[in-house]
Amino acid sequence: MPSLNPTQIDDERWQHGFTFVDDANEVRIHYIDCPPKSQSKGTVLLIHGYPNTSYQWRHVITPISDAGYRVIAPDYRGAGDNNHPRGGYDKVTVADDLYKVVHDHLGTS
């Protein structure tokens, strides 16, 4: 009988983390950070859609990283293991959250 999941997920290099993007409202963002094996060609930010989480990218995180890119896959506010604030779900705030995860807290641009 064929496997229902033929693609193995290689998550050995994945680093899970949380970072606060809005200290006043205690908004924390979960992310997966997967560094390349060799010198990085750049950073790829994988943004999931509703109602998914960063888990949506599980089959492509490591292959993209193997191609030489640092991969960052955050969960946007209110999704996955993040807390669920009352507000801040507009596109500008969500974009600001993602910017803070990538630039301010992970030190990349």
pLDDT (mean) for 5-33: 86
Using CA atoms of 35, 19, 57, 67 in order, give the dihedral in degrees to the nearest 10.
-20
Tens of pLDDT, residues 26-70: 899 999 999 999 888 999 999 999 899 999 999 999 999 999 999
Beta-ladder partners of 30: 18
- In the chain, what is the straight-line distance between the N-terminal and C-terminal CA atoms, in Å? 46
Share of the chain above pLDDT 90, in %: 71
Flag whether pLDDT at 108 surpasses 80.
no
DSSP conformation class of 62: H
Element (H, E) at 44: strand 42-45
Domains located in the chain, CATH noted: 15-105 (3.40.50.1820)
- The verdict on whether omega for the bond into residue 6 sits within 30 degrees of 0, i.e. cis, is no
